[in-house]
Structure 1
């Protein structure tokens, strides 16, 4: 068993919180998990099952996520980064393992650039390192539907742009995952009043993955059928990180954390405990695993 602690923090007037599952006899540094867009601190059960036997686990409701205060329209990655930095300081440990997925990958990468001495290992998944003109067009369509109160259409557009719908590419439970993602987008459209601000930030200021990184053992991973940013482009990003390993997970797209959740948790376990990655049975040979940076 492990102790659960909820810590309430704030940056300026914005309140947020994190959840710590404490492992009294850890084998590695605490693992801090930061997920995508609106993902809160209770969305990582497989990570809990796999990692808490060997490490303390931290998940968060950052500003704009879960039960935290909304992120102001004129704020973005800088405030989110400050909140993540404050969580690391509040933990009171010299170093952490940091896991960031999708939007969380941008926050985690920025944190590692600012504070490399505090990061023992860095795992980044589903890195949105490139946004195509077609994707920007889809984002604008989604924003228009949301602004017009067309919630069903908004949910359809946003779900379709996040998933690989090509029937020639094998993704198990594709229809089930599509329904889940679409329902989540519909729930957000109806119940998250600041969702338009989030979309506008995505349109105005794309994610930044410039500047490279050195001195932090790193891993970049993705589903082999990720259509938001292709595995090839994510591999190019991984090459900007010194000594970075890069792997693709078979039969999955951008929602690999849902489609192959147990495998993602196992990959994180292997990386954060120093076990070899190349023997993992779920890796795709389409892009050979290995060090690229």
Structure 2
């Protein structure tokens, strides 16, 4: 049985906290899970269920998120990455496994570039490696709705913008996922003191996905109908990381962690323990692995 521990830390004058679920029989490094800008330390029960048996699971209210202090004005990636490295130090381990989804993928990738020696393995899902002008405009409008106090319009616009609503493309549990995303955004709009700032940072403070990461075992995965950043662009991003693996998960869009939660969590557990991925019986029907463009089979 895992033991919960919550620790408060500070970095550059900003207070924040993290949660660690200790697993006495762990067989790999702790797994730190990073999600959306409005997602806090209690938003990953599926990862706790599937990764918890093999590793300590760590989640956090990072600076500018959840119960943490607001971020100072200006670019935030250096502050947040410093906060994450402070967590690694406080865990008293040489390195961790890092799981980043959506906004969290940018943070995780930024950390891996800054201190690769502290990252044992890196899993990135729904990577926003390319954001179109139309999406930037959508986020700008959503930010305006939120600033004006129109939480309903904000939640609807964000849910629609983050999901594939084309009925010609099959997405598992689409209606359920849409209701969950919209409700989560509505709750964040009404209760999070960071919501407006988080949206504005998402527009102006874009992560750098231009490359430069080596010597970190990396898995990139995407829902096959991701409309935030297409699987093809995420595959191109994965190809910038030597030795990385790329997977598409059918019947899912950007919210693959909601639509295929067990498959994603099981995939992470297998990757972080150097186990088989697409060959696993529970994953074979729904996960497709694609060779890197550098693979001779693609030439």
TM-score, normalization: structure 1?
A: 0.95
Structure 2, unmatched stretches of 5+, are 295-299
Give the Å deviation of 1:24.
Answer: 2.2
Structure 1, unmatched stretches of 5+, are none
The 5 Å alignment of 1:226-241 reads: 226-241=226-241
Give the Å deviation of 1:71.
Answer: 2.5
The 3 A distance-change label for structure 1 pair 178 and 276 is same
Q: Judge conservation of contact 2:223–2:250 (CA < 8 Å) in 1.
A: yes
Give the Å deviation of 1:289.
Answer: 2.8
- Residue in 2 aligned with 1:4? 4
The separation in 2 between residues aligned to 1:231 and 1:186, in whole angstroms, is 28
Q: Judge conservation of contact 2:151–2:189 (CA < 8 Å) in 1.
A: yes
Runs of 4+ in 1 over 4 A off after TM superposition: none
The 5 Å alignment of 1:182-193 reads: 182-193=182-193
1:81 and 2:81 are equivalent in the alignment = yes
- Residue in 2 aligned with 1:289? 290
Q: Judge conservation of contact 1:40–1:66 (CA < 8 Å) in 2.
A: yes
- Residue in 2 aligned with 1:45? 45
Give the Å deviation of 1:116.
Answer: 1.1
Aligned length: 291
Q: Judge conservation of contact 2:172–2:260 (CA < 8 Å) in 1.
A: no
- Residue in 2 aligned with 1:130? 130
The separation in 2 between residues aligned to 1:194 and 1:167, in whole angstroms, is 34
Q: Judge conservation of contact 2:29–2:120 (CA < 8 Å) in 1.
A: yes
The 5 Å alignment of 1:1-293 reads: 1-279=1-279, 280-285=283-288, 288-291=289-292
Give the Å deviation of 1:70.
Answer: 2.5
For residue 219 of structure 1, give the secondary structure of its aligned residue in structure 2: strand
Q: Judge conservation of contact 1:41–1:59 (CA < 8 Å) in 2.
A: yes
Q: Judge conservation of contact 1:73–1:197 (CA < 8 Å) in 2.
A: no
For residue 248 of structure 2, give the secondary structure of its aligned residue in structure 1: strand
The separation in 1 between residues aligned to 2:180 and 2:146, in whole angstroms, is 19
Q: Judge conservation of contact 2:12–2:79 (CA < 8 Å) in 1.
A: no
The separation in 1 between residues aligned to 2:94 and 2:140, in whole angstroms, is 43
Q: Which has the higher mean CA deviation after the structures are superposed, 60-69 or 100-109?
A: 60-69
Q: Judge conservation of contact 1:249–1:282 (CA < 8 Å) in 2.
A: no
Q: Judge conservation of contact 1:63–1:70 (CA < 8 Å) in 2.
A: yes
Q: Judge conservation of contact 1:35–1:100 (CA < 8 Å) in 2.
A: yes
